[in-house]
Structure 1
Amino acid sequence: MMKNKLLTIMLIILVTITLLGVAGVIVYKQLGTDTPNAAPNIDKILEQSIDVPELNTNLADRKYIQLSLKIQLDSKEAAEEMTKRDFQVKDILVEVLSEMSSKDLEGKRGKELLTNTLKSKFNGLMQDGEVQKVYITSYAIS
């Protein structure tokens, strides 16, 4: 009887250790040491970004906007692809801005609306990689 009790205790301890080990592996893989959301350094961001030179176009309410952008992509190869698509980027910019009024672009919300819309449209162009963020580097409405 003592042997059965000892065997049962050993099995419970073994199962507990195994479960703790499996749980530890799962937690480690979930948290990971190499988090993809870790902020890249500035050199990497610049390597993966392109500049859209200053563009002047009219808005829907007959006002003019002058703006330039920096588009951050997820890889150097994606940045090279986007550079080749510069004419398509400018076309999208003119298309989106011609549908917006100066009132649509007011304040932080207006700029977020613009950058989110552009990010979505630019991602539609991409075959390899994706746009991570669109930065407005200069902006004036008259």
Structure 2
Amino acid sequence: MSKLVKVMLSSIAILIVGAAVAFLVILNFNDEKEGEAKTIDDIVEYSYESPEVTTDLDDGSFVRIQFQIITDSKDAKEEIAKRDFQLKNILIKELAVLSEEDFKAGLSELEETVQTKLNEVMTDGKITDVYTINKILQ
């Protein structure tokens, strides 16, 4: 075999081994463990308790509500704490069009809407879950 062919085969073999090693390192040391369930410690660490919001509904009823917002990182938790005024705004707008019956029947829909609207304004991470932790309807 000529010297040129030996150098080419050696170079290709080194490149293949290097790519395989890089792939394994990226695969095994990836911080985001997608597909795995979060532990309760992670949920508590990345959760934010919203302030209580009191507002009126479309039919004249009043509601006082509070949420536990679960984020995907510490940065996202800090960001949502700074965005509590936007959370209040979203809640007031969404609750203003609901009646007492809509509110009773559609609490899960409200949680999903709050999650979606908050994710639209988030820049550092995202909201993974929204739980209603306090609700008083008058």
The alignment's TM-score, normalised by the length of structure 1, stands at 0.71
**1:45-60 aligned within 5 A:** 45-60=43-58
Partner secondary structure for residue 105 of structure 1: helix
Kindly indicate whether residue 70 of structure 2 is the aligned counterpart of residue 68 of structure 1: no
For structure 2, the 5+ residue unaligned runs are 1-26
- The whole-number CA distance in structure 2 between the counterparts of 1:35 and 1:44 is 12
Displacement of 1:141 after TM fit? 0.9
114, 129, 133: which is aligned to 1:133?
Answer: 129
Quote the residue 1:105 is aligned against: 103
Residue number among 83, 86, 107 corresponding to 2:84 in the alignment: 86
Deviation at 1:35, TM superposition (A): 5.4
User: Which amino acid is 1:128 matched to?
Assistant: D
Is 1:116 aligned with 2:112? yes
For structure 1, the residue ranges without an aligned partner over 5 or more in a row are 1-28
1:31-90 per-position Cα deviation (integer Å, ceiling 9, x unaligned): xxx852322111211111101122111011110011110000111111111111111111
Any residues of structure 2 matched to 1:29-48 within 5 Å, and which?
A: 36-48=34-46
Identity %: 36
TM-score under structure 2 length normalisation: 0.73
Q: Using the alignment, how far apart are the partners of 2:35 and 2:52 within structure 1? A: 31
* 4+ residue segments displaced more than 6 Å: none
Whole-Å separation in 2 of the counterparts to 1:134 and 1:104: 18
Q: What is the SS of the residue equivalent to 1:106?
A: helix
Q: Which amino acid aligns with 1:129?
A: G
Q: Residues of 2 paired with 1:75 and 1:40: CA distance? A: 11
C-alpha distance in structure 1 between counterparts of 2:120 and 2:76, whole Å: 13
The count of corresponding residues between Structure 1 and Structure 2 is 108
Taking only aligned residues, the RMSD between alpha carbons, in angstroms, comes to 1.6
Structure ID, larger Rg: 1
